[in-house]
Amino acid sequence: MYTLYSRPGSGGFAVEAAFRLAGQPFTLVNVPKQAPGDDFLAISPLGQVPVLTLPCGRSITESGAMVTLVAERFPEAELAPQPQSPGRAEFLRWMFFMSSALYPALLRYFYAQRYTSDPGAAETVQNAALAESDRCFAVIENALSGRQWLVDDRFSLADVYLLMLAHWHPVGDRPREEWTNIVRHCSALKRQPVLADLNETHRLW
């Protein structure tokens, strides 16, 4: 059995969505934000969610890795282009772009005080983080021009990951209105029954 350590509104949204869209059972453990205990720090050294414990007993951090793993382990659900398929490179590109460029830019906004030793500089860090996350979103907005999904003109978990990040945008908790392609992309996904149901807990939109 898989065990997902998560918290409503966190990156656990995409991983929970992956399991539910794959129709696979998993145990969900809610980790309160304040003061993670030693047991949790043993599997998440930075004290962050999500964490996924695999049936073999190993635990991994990194939401992008978890989403990719679920798609790979349950290929019949067709949640991502499979290894060796033509769209795989593009899927990996977007997963890494979102998890290594965009997600950290958003973290710099929300945890600005971690990124400066000057107590008066948090606002400057936030301004720069907002500009950087907008620069990343603009890349995705451009890529979605004339297409419905990020990869291969078919739905994948990269789309779910984008839906989550777009609703973490610090201005209004939703994608900027001028990103019409991202707004259109998210609107379609928000109607998907599994994602709509998941949002009852996560309250991303």
* 126 is an interface residue for ligand GSH by CB under 6 A: no
Among 16, 62, 141, 159, binds ligand GSH (CB under 6 A): 62
* 47 is an interface residue for ligand GSH by CB under 6 A: yes
* 63 is an interface residue for ligand GSH by CB under 6 A: yes
Radius of gyration of the chain (CA): 17
Q: Measure the CA–CA gap between 98 and 103, rounded to whole angstroms.
A: 6
Among 28, 43, 92, 107, binds ligand GSH (CB under 6 A): 107
Angle at 205 between CA 131 and CA 192, to 5 degrees: 115
Among 10, 53, 133, 199, binds ligand GSH (CB under 6 A): 10
| Min dist. Cβ of residue 117 to ligand GSH (A) | 18
| Min dist. Cβ of residue 167 to ligand GSH (A) | 12
The four Cα atoms 194, 196, 201, 204 give a dihedral, to 10 degrees, of: 130
> Among 41-49, 152-160, 173-181, 195-203, which window interacts with ligand GSH (CB under 6 A)?
41-49
| Min dist. Cβ of residue 37 to ligand GSH (A) | 14
Using CB under 6 A, count the residues that bind ligand GSH.
13
Tokens found for residue 81: 């282009």
| H or E element in which residue 130 lies | helix 122-143
Look at residues 189, 120, 175, 185 and name the one whose alpha carbon lies nearest to residue 147. 185
* 101 is an interface residue for ligand GSH by CB under 6 A: no
Report how far apart, in Å, the C-alpha atoms of 188 and of each of 9, 41, 93, 176 are.
Answer: 20, 37, 22, 16
Q: Which residues bind ligand GSH (CB under 6 A)?
A: 10-11, 47-50, 61-64, 99, 103, 107
